[in-house]
Amino acid sequence: MINTNSPSRQARLKAWLLLQNIEQKALAEQLGISEQLLSMTLTGKRVCRHRIAALAQLGIPEELLPQPPERQKPGRKAPFLIHA
């Protein structure tokens, strides 16, 4: 069963930013990225480790930030196989 009473991570992040008087435009400027990229990062649509780390260094609680993707091991990718 889904608990609809607890706010989502994005809602908690938005509330935290509002309480801290932090505007996304200013945050994007500090990071040197566009507001659109920041928005996609905060919603979890375009997440990368260095942006999440930069946001955490600016003081945003890590539990409010999206989780970065698992680091892939360097090397060759497995070939794409077509099963007949």
Q: Which of 8, 6, 42, 9 is nearest to 23 (CA)?
A: 42
DSSP state of 32: T
> What is the mean pLDDT of the segment spanning 76-80?
61
In a domain, 4, yes or no: no
The number of folded domains in the chain is 1
Give 78 or 56, the one with higher predicted confidence: 56
In a domain, 17, yes or no: yes
Dihedral sign, Cα of residue 20, residue 22, residue 24, residue 27: negative
Q: Which domain holds residue 26?
A: 9-64
In a domain, 44, yes or no: yes
Residue 1 has pLDDT above 60, yes or no: no
In a domain, 80, yes or no: no
Helices (H), 1-84: 9-19, 24-31, 35-43, 49-57
In a domain, 45, yes or no: yes
pLDDT (tens digit per residue) in 32-66: 999 999 999 999 999 889 999 999 999 999 999 99
The torsion defined by the Cα of 52, 57, 59 and 63, in degrees rounded to 10, comes to 40
- Could you give the percent of the chain with pLDDT greater than 70? 79
Q: pTM of the predicted model, to two decimals?
A: 0.73
In a domain, 83, yes or no: no
Give 9 or 73, the one with higher predicted confidence: 9
Residue 77: predicted pLDDT: 62
